Amino acid sequence: MKKTLLIGLFAVMGIGTQPIFAQDVQYRTMPQEQLDSMEQTAAADYDAIKKQVSDTKSKMKAAKKEYTDFKKQYKELCKEEKQRKEALKKIRKAMELRKKLRDLSHS
Q: Give residue-wise pLDDT tens across range 27-36.
A: 677 788 888 9
Phi, psi angle pair for 24, to nearest 5°: -70, 140
Q: What is the pLDDT of residues 55-95, one digit of tens each?
A: 999 999 999 999 999 999 999 999 999 999 999 999 999 99
Distances (CA, A) of 26 to 22, 30, 35, 101: 12, 7, 10, 100
Domain carrying residue 37: 2-106
Report field, pTM of the whole predicted structure over 0.75? no
Which pLDDT does position 4 carry in this prediction? 72
Bigger pLDDT: 53 or 1?
A: 53
What is the number of domains present in the chain?
Answer: 1
Mean pLDDT rounded to a whole number for the chain: 86
